[in-house]
Amino acid sequence: MAGGTARARPTPTVAPRGTRRTGRTPVALLVPAILGLLFLVLPLAGLLVRTPWATLPQRLTEPGVLTALRLSVQTATLATLLCLLLGVPLAWLLARVQFPGRQLVRALVTVPLVLPPVVGGLALLLVFGRRGLVGSWLDSTFGVTVPFTTTAVVLAQAFVAMPFLIIAVEGALRGADTRYEEAAATLGAGRWTTFTHVTLPLVAPGIAAGAVLGWARALGEFGATITFAGNYPGRTQTMPVAVYLALETDLEAAIVLSLILLTVSVVILAGLRDRWASAP
Amino acid sequence: MTRTRLRTALTALALLVVTGCADDRADPAATGAGNGGELTVFAAASLRESFTRLGQDFEAAQGVRVTFNFAGSSALAAQINQGAPADVFAAAAPANMATVVDAGNSDGEPVTFARNQLVIAVPRGNPDGVTALSDLTKPDAKVAVCAEQVPCGAAARKALDAAGVALTPVTLEQDVRAALNKVRLGEVDAALVYRTDVRAAADDVDGIEFPESTGAVNDYPIVVLKDADHPAAARAFVDHVNSDTGRAVLTAAGFQVP
């Protein structure tokens, strides 16, 4: 739906990207590219080498594993939705609206990237905890406490994942041709209509990329989760937390859990990619 | 053209090297390497206060610099078995020590130098009036316990079973200090932690002793490692921990000594 509108836009003068080839691939690019790939993939090979294949099926069927996996996929998806809901408008604000202190806000958005996740979790406790700035009010007014709940897991994941989405979407917005938006405005469309009918379809691939990044980051989140949400099977024990605790006693179990998480995420991401095959 | 290529390749190489170095530095195990007159002691996180004290005494008496790597016992055991340069290993549980001994990385048999007992940590002044383990099962009580994969969690399990108390904690924390911090932050009403942890955080928390904890006491073993760079100094340090001074420091921190 959204992608269809984006593709229907008038094609610029240059030939479609990726079809032009001039000469052979420069060695100066190829060598570091291959080194980069090795650097990223070798640790995975390290895990595969140590995987206890013989006991793999038996470990896969352990009940705690599926519970943690389900919780991880659910919370990461919810966190991504929360990021989309709040992050896309924020990215739009940063890219399209001039306001004083915009540079500062842009820098503040990246704070969760720099903050060690454990500190992020502590910061969330100090805000949403039972004695936190917002949490104490929630507790006294509604009798609601956030820490140690699945909600806390989603909040922790959204906190660390949102910057990835915002940066991707803001980049897409700034790279997008604003003449379409201007044309829409000239034709009498309000800013909201322009946003939903022109801007969003235009940057849909950027939003998709940001959502994928955010989802992946949320799925792997550990530090903020264990600090803010704690660890309880079925409620707050996500796969990364289960992996960390397995490492305390059983290296092989930790490797198996990591592989399961990796496989599931790769399968899901590859599946989504096929669906969005038209996106660059 | 060639120069650009060379520069790119060099940059890539430099990046690799930098990343490698950064990794080395991030690994606390590597910090002790290459320092001639330094003794490297890997010790359980709960020993931080007492061993830091003992290390200072030892430095003053023997003129040997002591560096510590405090972390979870299982992480330390894994680091040692992966070849981390350490002279002495002090663990918070015999199981973690056994990992190192079984891998053939110890020099001689470990000796138990301290014991640690669980207490109920509550916010200072005990606002909920906790007096026994059974108080923690009240419907509104939020309690943090260590995960069973770490020593304090295994001890808590034993104590709760011995007491016949069916406790449902809100969280199973990854280590004892994390459980204690949840009490300090006011996020839970109580946590099962070691007496030494309560002693170290006496400004914020009170410790409630409970009889069932005697059935779940943790032994702390210490050993000189096979690949120690300074075996003599390492043996001297172990002796120092077991000396009257050592025992006094450990007792003051809340440990029991054999």
The CATH number of the domain holding residue A239 is 1.10.3720.10
pLDDT of residue A272: 77
Q: How far is CA B8 from CA A41, A193, B2, B14, B88, in A?
A: 21, 47, 10, 10, 45
- Asked if residue A93 is part of any domain, the answer here is yes
**Percent of chain B residues topping a pLDDT of 90:** 68
- Asked if residue A141 is part of any domain, the answer here is yes
Q: Which two tokens stand for residue B183?
A: 């009490």
For chain A, the domain total comes to 1
> What's the gap between Cα B57 and its chain centre?
20
**Res. B29: pLDDT tops 70:** no
User: What is the predicted ipTM?
Assistant: 0.79
pLDDT band of residue A233 (cuts 50, 70, 90) is very high
Asked if the C-beta of B149 comes within 8 angstroms of chain A's C-beta atoms, the answer is: yes
pLDDT of residue A55: 83
3-class secondary structure, A16: coil
**Cα dihedral A163→A168→A173→A176 (10° resolution):** 170
CB contact under 8 A, B78 and A147: no
CB atoms within 10 A of CB A120: 23
B66 vs B72, which has greater pLDDT? B66
pLDDT of residue B50: 93
CB atoms within 10 A of CB A270: 9
- Asked if residue A48 is part of any domain, the answer here is no
**Res. A210: pLDDT tops 50:** yes
**Res. B3: pLDDT tops 60:** no
Residue of B nearest to A143 (CA): B140
pLDDT of residue A276: 62
Q: Which two tokens stand for residue A106?
A: 């842009």
Domain enclosing residue A125, as ranges:
61-275
Which residues of chain A have a CB within 8 Å of the CB of B72?
248
Confirm if A244 and A142 have CB atoms less than 8 A apart: no
Quick one: average pLDDT of B92-116? 93
Mean pLDDT across chain A, nearest whole number? Answer: 88
- Asked if residue A42 is part of any domain, the answer here is no
- Asked if residue A101 is part of any domain, the answer here is yes
Which residues of chain A have a CB within 8 Å of the CB of B169?
232
Residue of B nearest to A39 (CA): B16
Convert the pLDDT of each residue in B149-192 to its tens digit: 888 898 999 999 988 999 999 999 998 889 999 999 999 999 99
The one-letter amino acid code at A163 reads P
CB atoms within 10 A of CB A230: 30
**Res. B222: pLDDT tops 70:** yes
pLDDT band of residue B15 (cuts 50, 70, 90) is very low
Query: In which element (H, E) is residue B157 found?
Result: helix B151-163
DSSP H helices, chain A, are 2-7, 27-49, 56-60, 63-96, 102-109, 111-114, 117-128, 135-142, 150-175, 179-186, 191-194, 200-202, 204-220, 223-228, 239-249, 251-275
Which residues of chain A have a CB within 8 Å of the CB of B92?
none
pLDDT band of residue A252 (cuts 50, 70, 90) is confident
- Asked if residue A269 is part of any domain, the answer here is yes
Task: Catalogue all structural domains in chain B, each as residue range(s) with its CATH number.
Answer: 2-115+218-252 (3.40.190.10), 118-216 (3.40.190.120)
- Asked if residue A122 is part of any domain, the answer here is yes
pLDDT band of residue A19 (cuts 50, 70, 90) is low
**Residue spans of beta strands (DSSP E) within chain B:** 38-44, 65-71, 88-90, 106-116, 118-123, 143-146, 171-173, 190-194, 205-208, 218-225
**Res. B139: pLDDT tops 90:** no
Quick one: average pLDDT of B200-208? 93
CB contact under 8 A, A251 and B12: no
Residue of A nearest to B75 (CA): A248
- Asked if residue A242 is part of any domain, the answer here is yes
